Amino acid sequence: MSTVVRTSIGSVCVCDGININIAKPLSRQCRFFPTSVSPLLSCFQKKCDLNLPRPVQDAADSKISCSLLNVQDGIDDEEACELVSGVELSIGEGDDTIRAYLFKAVKNNNGTGLLLLSDVFGLEDSFTRDFAYRVACNGYNILVPDLFRGNPWTKEQADVFEEWIGRQNPERIAEDISRWTKWLFDEFMAAGISKKLGVVGFCFGGGQVLKVLAQDHGSCFGAGISFYGTRMDPIAASDIKAPVLFILGDNDPLCVVSEIQNIQKKIGEGSKVVVFPGRGHGFAHRPGSPEEDVDAEHAYVIMRDWLYDHLVV
């Protein structure tokens, strides 16, 4: 079990020999997962203590800090601040520091830990954060690591994407993911809170899902979800021991349906491919039209049910 020690400059979470620096609560941003049919409504700013977190009593039910979130029907302002807490974490020191955000369900926490691997826009992207908030609202504890160590891709770099991606060392990314996976294991599985972890990824992160599960061999992760994964390694599929849900559109040149179906067959029984007709890349976590909003909502429900059936029940 991790313990948090208050200091004059912040809090330090010591986790089985790894120092986890709890830097600060999440900043107040007012852009949330857009969907025209979602029960989640508008964001609001609640006057609650957003200074430093309180000491953690238990990994499953501790309240790290209040933060903003979308509000469900029937939930008043007083309750809404209690639904999800968020905090920035870091492992390592100096140039070896790697950051992550942890979103925790404060009420109705089911104890399950999830790893969310972002697209190339990184953990600071509002769409990624909004999605993580929403998943946490469903009772999960979801960790979003900084895969690119503060250097995500931006649209201004459109002409040099291959150059940018070439600078992202795959061995370094894999090692960073492994370190955060160990933290999740210590925080939830070793503590006896969660039976298995889950991993979810979008685009670039969706491709990383296969690598993570192939290296894991079923020891930590009980399920994976890949949204329109890119740069996937079909060879890794045969080493995966956990069921994987693939969600994609049939109009996505970066994630071809036939290739995903072949990968799914290599993984074997229990995995599933869900194809949305007419949808392109990124529709589920950054929808760009009312029609995509509807399919994004449907994809979210499919993902939510998959997580529940494979990790909670």
Q: For 210-256, what is each residue's pLDDT tens digit?
A: 999 999 999 999 999 999 999 998 999 999 999 999 999 999 999 99
At residue 83 the predicted structure's pLDDT band, cuts being 50, 70 and 90, is: confident
Cα-based angle 2, 114, 270 (whole degrees, multiple of 5): 135
pLDDT score of 77 more than 70: no
Instruction: Decide if pLDDT at 18 tops 80.
Output: no
Question: DSSP labels for 223-246?
Answer: EEEEES--S--GGGGGG--S-EEE
Contact between residue 89 and residue 184 where contact means Cβ atoms under 8 Å apart: no
Pick from 29, 2, 5, 38: nearest CA to 17: 2
265 falls in which pLDDT band (50, 70, 90)? very high
- Give the Cβ contact number of residue 159 at 10 Å: 7
Residue 157, pLDDT score = 82
Look up residue 36 and give its two tokens.
């025209």
Tell me the pLDDT band of 82, cut-offs 50, 70 and 90: low
Number of domains in the chain: 1
Identify the weakest region by mean pLDDT among 13-17, 161-165, 287-291: 13-17
Instruction: Please provide residue 264's backbone torsions phi and psi, each rounded to the nearest 5 degrees.
Output: -60, -40
Q: Which amino acid is present at 38?
A: S
pLDDT reported for residue 78: 43
| CA max distance for the chain | 56
Residue 199 C-beta-side C-alpha neighbours within 13 Å: 32
The predicted-structure confidence for 245-262, as pLDDT tens digits, reads as follows 999 999 999 999 999 999
Q: Is the pLDDT of residue 12 over 60?
A: no
pLDDT on residue 221: 96
Predicted structure pTM score: 0.76
Say if residue 37's pLDDT is above 50.
no
Mean pLDDT of the chain: 78
Structure confidence at residue 28 (pLDDT) = 30
Q: What confidence score (pLDDT) does residue 54 get?
A: 27
When comparing pLDDT for 71 and 82, which is higher? 82
pLDDT 10s digits, 97-113:
999 999 999 988 999 99
Check pLDDT > 80 for residue 153: yes
User: What pLDDT, on the 0 to 100 scale, is given for residue 213?
Assistant: 97
pLDDT at 282 over 80: yes
- Which residue did the predictor score with more confidence, 45 or 271? 271
pLDDT band at 159 (very low <50, low <70, confident <90, very high): confident
Helix (H) or strand (E) holding 102, with range, is strand 98-105
How many angstroms from the chain centroid is the CA of residue 87? 14
Sequence-ordered list of residues with C-beta below 8 angstroms from that of 88, at least 6 positions apart, any chain: 22, 23, 24, 25, 26, 99, 100, 101
| Beta carbons within 8 Å of 250's beta carbon, 6+ residues apart | 257, 275, 276, 277, 278, 279
Domain encompassing residue 56: 3-312
Task: Give yes or no for a contact between 206 and 236, defined as CB atoms under 8 angstroms apart.
Answer: no
The alpha carbon of residue 4 and the mean position of all alpha carbons in its chain are separated, in whole angstroms, by: 23
Q: Coil, strand, or helix at residue 121?
A: coil
- Specify the CATH number for the domain of residue 119: 3.40.50.1820
